[in-house]
A and B are shown apart, each in its own frame.
Chain A
Amino acid sequence: NSGTGGRKRKSRWADDEPKPVIQLPDFMKDFTGGIEFDPEIQALNSRLLEISRKLQSGMLLDDRPEGARSPSPEPIYDNMGVRINTREYRAREKLNRERQEIISQIIKKNPAFKPPADYRPPKLQK
C-alpha cells in the first residue's frame, strides 16, 4: 500500500512556532500592511469615503426640515448680487473642512498616506 493516502510524512511547514516579533521602524509600516488594520485609521478612512461620496453625489447636503435648522447667518452677496453663502454652499464647505481635517489626521498617523490631489495642508499658524 505505497504511494497516496496513508503515507505519514512530516509537513514542510514548521510547527506553529511563535513568530519572531520584529519591531519595524515607523516608515516601514506602510509596506507591511499592518497600518491599515489600525481601527482609528479605519474609522477615519470610512468617514472620508462617506464624505467624498456625499460631495460627489450631488444630493442635497442639508436636508433638515425648516424647524430643525438654526438661524441662517447674514447673507453675503458677490458683486453680481448673487448670494454666496447659501445653505447648500455652507453645508458643502462644512463637509470640505471636515474632509481636509480627516486627511490631515490620517497623514499624521501614516506619513506615507498619499492624500487626494485637491488636499491642501492646513496653514501653519504662528
Chain B
Amino acid sequence: LMLQPSVVATKVVCLTQVVTPDELKDDDDYEDILEDMRTECGKFGTLVNIVIPRPLPSGEMGPGVGKVFLEYADVESATKARQGLNGRKFGGNQVVAVFYPENKFSQGEW
C-alpha cells in the first residue's frame, strides 16, 4: 500500500497537483502554462523537454493529466528544481515535486 518513495534522483522531475483538466483543454491556457513552466523551471538548469499531458479531444482523461514532467540535462539541475519547486504555488495549487524514473518517462509512461 506504501507509495514508492521517489528518493532516487533522476533527470526527470514530475510536478503533481499542478494543473486542472479544464485549463489544459483550452489552447491558450495550455500555451500559457507551458510558457510559465519553461520560464520558471528553466531557472534551475537546462531544460531538455517539458511534457504536460492533455485530456483527449473526446474529453477522456489520458494518463498523467494534471502532471507536468520536466526533463533536465543533468541530475544536479533536476535536484535543484525538485527542491526549489516543491511547495511552491502554481495557479493557486501547491506543487508537489518528485523525481520520476527516466525509463518510464522516455517510454511515455505517465
Contacts and interface: CB of A to CB of B under 8 A. Distances in A.
Interface of A: 9, 11-14, 16-17, 19-20, 30-31, 33, 36
Contacts of B3: 31
Contacts, number: 36
A19 B82 contact: no
Contact of B7 (A9, A14, A19, A30): A30
B88 to A, nearest CB: 6
B33 to A, nearest CB: 7
A102 to B, nearest CB: 19
Interface string B74-99: 00000000100001111110000001
Contact of B90 (A9, A14, A20): A14
Contact of B5 (A16, A20, A31): A31
Interface of B: 3, 5-7, 9, 32-33, 36, 39-40, 82, 87-92, 99
28 contacts: A9-B32, A11-B36, A11-B39, A12-B33, A12-B36, A12-B90, A13-B36, A13-B40, A13-B88, A13-B89, A13-B90, A14-B88, A14-B90, A14-B92, A16-B88, A17-B89, A19-B87, A19-B88, A20-B87, A30-B5, A30-B7, A31-B3, A31-B7, A33-B5, A33-B6, A33-B82, A33-B99, A36-B9
